Each structure stands twice: as structure tokens, then as C-alpha cells.
């Protein structure tokens, strides 16, 4: 086997492990990523799984990074080239609803970041820091468009962007819970109505 082919196969195997880890972690949390579970699901040995990462923590961090890449692809990238401000923000919010409502084949347990936030909010260490960093980065993305929308007159001049960012994040935490825990089929529509109220342009 050539070194190039061997490296490509190793990369594909690593991708399989990480993809399965994301699905498991969305349901059972990052601590639910056990070598035995992954080895059985992927028909590999425990040593084969661990050999791609070295430690369980490295595997958990890789799952978080992959979940972030998927989230970026589904929620941010489709809207990234739209005009900054309210137009892009509304598009991002709609893709965010779609992500929570339809990405169940990737995240069967709902948003991995919500699960990880609850799991590690009071547990200091690298996983806590990684979850916190990803959450703060997303809030900065929202805050950028909110601030631009106020500056452009697309939202009322007295809008507090940081307060509105806080409310948007809370809205989507509620949506994730309503879909996952309560199985509320009306939750996405309720979220869209709330968005219409929160992101209403000022009267002309």
C-alpha cells in the first residue's frame, strides 16, 4: 500500500469516527463517547479508535470541532454573502431554525452545543473552554449583524444589540428544548413569530 493511499484511508477512518462521535454526543453527551461504543458501532477495535486520537479528550475535542464545522456549513455559509445587517441576520436565523428542525440525521439528540453547554458549564478544563469559545464566537457573529442593523436604521435606534443577542440565543435554546424534550410540532412556527417581533424594522 502506498503512503498516500494509507494516509487517505487513515483520514477516512478518522472522519468516520468523528462523524459517529458527533451523533452519539448529541444524544449522550461528550462523556458518552466511550471507546467500546464507538468500536462496536464502527466495527473496529478499541485500540484502532484510540490510535487516531491518543486520548478520549482529544476525541471529544475533535467531535466538537466537527460539530462546529457542520453548524457553520448549515447555518452561516448559506447566508454569509448576503448584505451585512438585518438581511443577513434574518437569513441566519431562518437557517438556524432549519438546522434545529431538520438536521436530525446528523444530530439525533438535537444541538450538540446545547448538550455540551449543560454538560460542561460547571466543569473547568479544556472541554469547558472549547464550548465556551465556540459559544462566544457565535454570539460575536450575531452581535456584528445586530450592530450593523442598528447603525443602518434597519432596527430601532434605541435597540441594545447585546440585549437582543441575548434574547436570540435564549429563543433558540428554547426551540431546541421544545423540539427535543417536548416534541412540540409548533415550536418552529412559534420561533419564527418571535423572530418577527424581535427583528421588526422601525416604522418609516
Give me the domains of the chain, ranges plus CATH numbers. Answer: 61-198 (1.10.357.10)
pTM: 0.89
**Each residue's pLDDT tens digit, 34-47:** 888 898 999 888 88
Exposed e or buried b per residue across 158-184, where buried means at least 16 C-beta atoms within 10 angstroms of its C-beta? ebebeebbeebeebbeebbebbbeeee
Does pLDDT of 157 surpass 70?
yes
**What is the rounded average pLDDT for all residues in the chain?**
93
Does pLDDT of 3 surpass 60?
no
Report how far residue 168's alpha carbon sits from residue 165's, in angstroms, rounded to the nearest whole number.
5
Report how far residue 32's alpha carbon sits from residue 35's, in angstroms, rounded to the nearest whole number.
9
pLDDT for 190 equals: 97
Lowest mean pLDDT among 8-17, 66-75, 144-153: 8-17
pLDDT for 203 equals: 83
User: DSSP character for 34?
Assistant: -
Report how far residue 154's alpha carbon sits from residue 199's, in angstroms, rounded to the nearest whole number.
9
Amino acid at each position: 500500500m502506498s503512503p498516500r493511499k494509507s494516509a487517505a484511508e487513515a483520514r477516512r477512518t478518522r472522519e468516520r469516527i468523528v462523524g459517529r462521535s458527533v451523533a452519539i454526543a448529541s444524544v449522550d453527551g461528550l462523556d458518552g463517547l466511550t471507546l467500546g461504543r464507538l468500536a462496536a458501532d464502527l466495527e473496529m477495535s478499541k485500540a484502532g479508535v484510540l490510535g487516531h486520537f491518543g486520548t478520549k479528550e482529544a476525541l471529544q475535542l475533535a467531535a466538537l470541532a466537527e460539530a462546529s464545522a457542520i453548524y457553520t456549513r448549515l447555518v452561516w455559509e448559506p447566508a454569509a454573502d448576503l448584505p451585512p445587517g438585518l438581511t443577513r441576520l434574518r437569513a441566519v436565523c431562518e437557517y438556524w431554525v432549519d438546522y434545529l428542525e431538520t438536521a436530525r440525521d446528523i444530530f439525533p439528540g438535537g444541538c450538540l452545543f446545547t448538550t455540551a453547554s449543560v454538560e460542561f458549564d460547571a466543569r473547568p478544563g479544556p472541554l469547558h473552554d472549547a464550548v465556551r469559545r465556540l459559544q462566544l464566537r457565535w454570539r460575536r457573529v450575531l452581535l456584528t449583524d445586530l450592530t450593523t442593523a442598528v447603525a443602518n436604521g434597519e432596527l430601532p435606534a434605541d435597540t441594545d444589540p447585546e440585549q437582543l443577542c441575548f434574547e436570540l440565543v435564549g429563543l433558540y435554546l428554547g426551540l431546541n428544548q421544545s423540539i427535543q424534550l417536548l416534541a412540540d410540532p409548533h415550536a418552529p412556527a412559534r420561533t419564527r413569530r418571535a423572530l418577527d417581533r424581535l427583528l421588526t424594522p422601525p416604522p418609516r
